[in-house]
Every structure is written in structure tokens, then in C-alpha cells.
Amino acid sequence: IGKSRQAWRYLKHHALGQAIEVKEAKVEAFYKEAYSTFKARLENGQTREFRDLSMKELVKVFNDNTLKNAVWEEMDIDPDDPPETILHDPATDEQIKELEDRLGRTLPDDYKEFFAATNGIDSFWNGFYGEPRFLGAEDVHLFDASEQQKAWSAAAVRIRFVTDMSIKVKWPPLDRVIAINDGDENTRFVWLIEP
């Protein structure tokens, strides 16, 4: 479609954007923000504004950002009845120990700190859309990701202008990963990968 003269006649006059109700001012504002962000990153290097925050403080940032900025309709939440928090009571030491026993391994310290701050997080706002919830200790489970791995391995990208070149990741075996989030087939694959 990008090479179609007929399509470009419509695209240059914003016919597609109007048909799907894209607000030009919103796109322009997003472009300017993205441009300034990329420019600052390229000129000044990476910023790590959250580097020195504790896990408890990071969890609070998740909560505060979501409550302040979420577009609730996009998260399938009634905007007239938004949640007061996306956090849960902290997991007990016993719940964390039971999870470690169930998984047959010790959890990383920062993940234990997460559970000590909140036993899971409900769907949260990432700035563009809602992310699926992070599971509580009782719902975290082992997952066999070998089927997903086969699909990814088969999805090598072929680059036409370079003879027989493809971008193919050589994944380590993912037959035992720890599923830490919830969601549908497109969003639930956030895993804690074992060493």
C-alpha cells in the first residue's frame, strides 16, 4: 500500500485518519513529545530516574501513575467507578516461602521485595494502554514455553536485499519458565527466566 499512488492520494489528504477518527492535534502533540524524548536520550544518554528507588517506592509509582493517568475505558474498567488502588496487601513470609517451595527454587531478592510491598498488582497503565496484572504469590506458576519458542524460532525475518540473510534469535530452551503475569494470548508472556 505504501507504493500505491492511489492510496497516497487519499493518505496525503488525511482521509484515512479522518475515517478512523484520528485527532491530528493529538498526533502532533505525541510526535513532539516523542521527538524531544528521543533527542534528549541521544544527546544526553540514558536517564535512570528510578534507579535509587526501593521496590516499595517503585510499586507506589506504578499505583500513582495508573490512578492519575489511566484511560479506564481502554483497560475495561468503568471510568465512573475506578479503583482506589491497584495494589494488594503484602504477601506474608509464609506465602513467599510456599511459592519458593512450589517452584523448587529461591526467588531473587528484588522479587521477594516486590511481594513484601504488594502481593501482585492489578492491571496498570503504561502510558499507552493497560498492562495485564502481575500475579500474587499464590498464582505464580511454572509454564512450559516450548510451544511459543517454536513459533518464535519459525518467525525469522528474511531481509531481501541481503542474500540469504535472516534475523533469527537462538533462544535458550524455555521449557520451564515462571509465569508472573496474567492476560490473553498476546499479553501474558512475562516470565521470570531461571538461570
- C-alpha separations of 120 from 2, 22, 51, 54, 59 in Å: 44, 35, 21, 16, 10
The pLDDT score that the predictor gives to residue 1 is 60
The pLDDT score that the predictor gives to residue 48 is 85
Q: Residue 83 phi/psi, 5° resolution?
A: -70, 155
Mean pLDDT, rounded, for 11-27? 78
What is the tens place of the pLDDT at every residue in 25-77? 888 999 999 999 999 999 998 888 898 999 999 999 999 999 999 999 988 89
What pLDDT band is residue 165 in, cutting at 50, 70 and 90? low
Mean pLDDT, rounded, for 103-112? 95
Is 160 a residue whose pLDDT tops 70? no
CA gap 44, 154 in Å, rounded: 38
* % of the chain surpassing 70 pLDDT: 86
What pLDDT band is residue 114 in, cutting at 50, 70 and 90? very high
- The helix or strand, by DSSP H or E, that contains position 142, with its residue range, turns out to be strand 141-143
DSSP state of 73: G
Q: What is the mean pLDDT of the chain?
A: 85
Mean pLDDT, rounded, for 102-126? 95
Is 158 a residue whose pLDDT tops 60? no
What pLDDT band is residue 155 in, cutting at 50, 70 and 90? low
